[in-house]
Amino acid sequence: MEEKTVNGENEIVGGLNFVEQEIVKDLAEGKNGGRLNTRFPPEPNGYLHIGHAKAIIMDFGSAEKFGGTCNLRFDDTNPQKEDTEYVESIMRDIHWLGYDWEDRLYYASDYFPQLYDFAIRLIKEGKAYVDEQTSEQIAAQKGTPTEPGTNSPFRDRPIEENLDLFERMNKGEFEEGSMVLRAKIDMANSNMHFRDPIIYRIIKTPHWRTGDQWKVYPMYDFAHGQSDFFEGVTHSICTLEFVPHRPLYEYFVKELADESYCPRQIEFNRLNLTYTVMSKRKLLQLVKEGLVSGWDDPRMPTLCGLRRRGYTPESIKDFVNRIGYTKYEALNHIELLEHSVREDLNKTATRVSAVINPVKLIITNYPEDKSETIMMDNNPEKPEDGKHPMPFTRELWIEREDFMENPPKKYFRLSPDKEVRLKGAYIIKCTGVKKNSEGDIEEIYAEYDPETKSGLPGSDRKVKGTLHWVSVPTAVDVEVRDYDRLFSVENPSAEEGDFRDLLNPDSLVVREGVKLEPWAAQHAKPGDHFQFTRLGYYTVDPDSTENHLVFNKTIGLKDTWAKEMKKS
């Protein structure tokens, strides 16, 4: 944990965060007959992002941990914004994270009949009324937290009239926005959510599941708690912005059921990540306006974007575990997420050789027709992963940055008359270069020392630098997509003005003609993770074809965050 203990709600006790502690306590007290049933309630109006992953890990993870169950419930109460594309992507992403709802797939739209009946009951009991004012008028009467609101002129209309109007609202007799159903609670309540909240509005767009059966749709506050209740949810865990909604949540459940059982709402802090935005509205805008290539653009904080970029479920879970669940809003550093993926890929990614910015190296004393097979470690962290073959030849690609004609002191890479080791192979000494008419280096010449082959007896002569390389005749040209932060400021949501103006114009650099060793090219399948020696972690993109491999740079090797953590 980054934060030191400040108060009980942020304290880890027995390895459990405050939400888990509450669950354990409820179970120990035998609440709800000792049942634990959580739910994850996405609205299918966008793709899931890493913030949702934090909620999913809590909802599904705590059920898993304490022998309970977790429902997946689509909160599909607004047909204007929802789509099956989103439903499918949400299911795919939850499965990818490693969770399963089994036979507990629900839709808020399944409860439309019960919710409608409940609304009718409230009207009949004089606890709801149809308001014909505009949304502006209603907002103007809300008052402020310190001043009471003003009653609507429609507040005391007769029950019969309310019933008639609400039924006709649902038949489609009135225009969208012309009237709403409000709960009649208390226009002076210190909790603004109690000031006669709107519970139903007219929407005429057909619903993707219920078609044009309904013309009125319940608001979040009127659907959520009741849906939890219908499903027998015991713990309704959500983010802090719902704290002020909790009394209303409990009010409606009590009105509905008049029983001792009420699902318990517990709130934790949202995940917010630096250099990106988490609002679904803004993410949708980026997609719609073509400012990114789609929801799964590898720069997006969406789960499908992170997956395509090369993030693993393990790395996301590790990150969420590190930031923890508290009652404090925080801005989480993207470097910590990067640290998690680096650690995970370090354990699993196969090491291969690729040269990003190639220049030709010719070993003049190596026979032209000769080729050797060098066996390279697949992962030095895991000897059991074995080795793979890599051809060594007279002509090799090395990185342009690994050669300097006039090096400064302490430059341990290649320069005239200096020695380096070619990784897994021989020590070479630079003997000269060839330049074009512009003075750019076209070829570098060197001689190798046959007595220095790695792994052979007597080959342990030390030189300071080791370079990666790829054999010229067998190298495969691939495309590499290099990414930087999506936004150029740390917290785009906190800035004034249009968030799109804060996009980082250099967040994508496409490099063609990257030289990849042949074994890697033969084995690379979309989604595979590799470590390109000395460069970073790269993941095969689904845009790859048989003749054109595309790699996304997941993350570089250098971890500034690990250093920071050691210091603190």
Instruction: Return the structure tokens found at 183.
Output: 């709960």
59 touches 38 (CB < 8 A): yes
* Cα–Cα distance, 501 to 487 (Å, whole number): 9
By beta-carbon proximity to ligand ATP, the closer residue of 55 and 446 is 55
Can you point out the beta strands (E) in 82-146? 105-107, 128-131
Q: Which of 13, 2, 9 is nearest to 326 (CA)?
A: 9
Task: Give the shortest CB-393-to-ligand ATP separation in angstroms.
Answer: 52
Output the smallest distance, CB 237 to ligand ATP, in A.
Answer: 8
Among the listed residues 215, 280, 309, 413, the single catalytic one is 280
- Tell me how far, at minimum, the Cβ of 75 lies from ligand ATP, in Å: 6
Cβ-based neighbours of 427, under 8 Å, separated by 6 or more: 419, 420, 421, 448, 449, 452, 461, 463
Give the Cα-Cα-Cα angle 163, 108, 39 (nearest 5 degrees). 135
**Residue of 270, 327, 387, 423 with catalytic role:** 270
- CA 386, CA 11: separation in Å to the nearest integer? 44
State the minimum distance, in angstroms, from the CB of residue 50 to ligand ATP.
8
Instruction: Given the residues 43, 314, 343, 447, select the one marked as catalytic.
Output: 43
What is the contact surface with ligand ATP in residues (CB under 6 A)? 41-43, 45, 51-52, 54-55, 238-239, 270-271, 278, 280
In whole angstroms, the minimum distance from the beta carbon of 225 to ligand ATP comes to 13
* Closer Cβ to ligand ATP, 276 or 393, answer by number: 276
Beta carbon of residue 32, minimum distance to ligand ATP (angstroms, whole number)? 20
Residue 2 near residue 323, CB atoms below 8 Å: yes
- Give the C-alpha separation, 385 to 129, whole Å: 69
* Closer by beta carbon to ligand ATP, 165 or else 271: 271
Residue 282 region by backbone torsions, left for phi larger than 0, else alpha for psi between -120 and 50, else beta: alpha
Active site residue 267: no
Pairing label, strands 470-471, 395-399: antiparallel
Query: Is the Cβ of residue 270 or residue 387 nearer to ligand ATP in the bound state?
Result: 270
Nearer to ligand ATP among residue 125 and residue 241 (C-beta): 241
CB of 327 to ligand ATP, least distance (A): 13
Cα torsion 468, 470, 472, 476: sign: negative
Q: Where are the beta strands (DSSP E) in 262-379?
A: 264-268, 350-352, 354-355, 358-363, 371-377
Encoded tokens for 418: 């200096």
Q: Residue 520 Cβ, how far from ligand ATP at the closest point, in Å?
A: 37
| DSSP-assigned states of every residue in 502-534 | GB-TTSEEEEEEEEE-HHHHHH--TT-EEEETT
CB of 207 to ligand ATP, least distance (A): 17
CA diameter of the chain = 102
Q: Which two tokens stand for residue 337?
A: 């997420």
User: DSSP assignment of 249-282, as one string?
Assistant: HHHHHHHHH-SS--PEEEEEPPP-BTTS---HHH
108, two tokens: 């808020």
In angstroms, give the least distance from the CB of 220 to ligand ATP. Answer: 8
Confirm whether 43 is a catalytic residue.
yes
H or E stretch at 347: helix 334-348
Which residue, 239 or 474, is less far from ligand ATP as judged by CB?
A: 239
DSSP H helices, 47-111, are 50-65, 84-97
Helix and strand counts by DSSP (H, E) for the chain? 14, 25
**Closer of 162 and 315 to ligand ATP (Cβ):** 315
Task: Name which of 239 and 459 has its Cβ closer to ligand ATP.
Answer: 239
Q: How far apart are CA 65 and CA 479, in angstroms?
A: 43
Nearer to ligand ATP, 328 or 381 (CB): 328
Using alpha carbons only, give the angle 43, 47, 52 rounded to the nearest 5 degrees: 70
Q: Which residue has the tokens 């012309």?
A: 178
Give the integer Cα–Cα distance in Å for 382 and 342: 16
Nearer to ligand ATP, 92 or 127 (CB): 92
- Angle, in degrees to the nearest 10, between helices 560-567 and 334-348: 110
Q: Looking at the annotation, which residues are catalytic?
A: 43, 270, 280
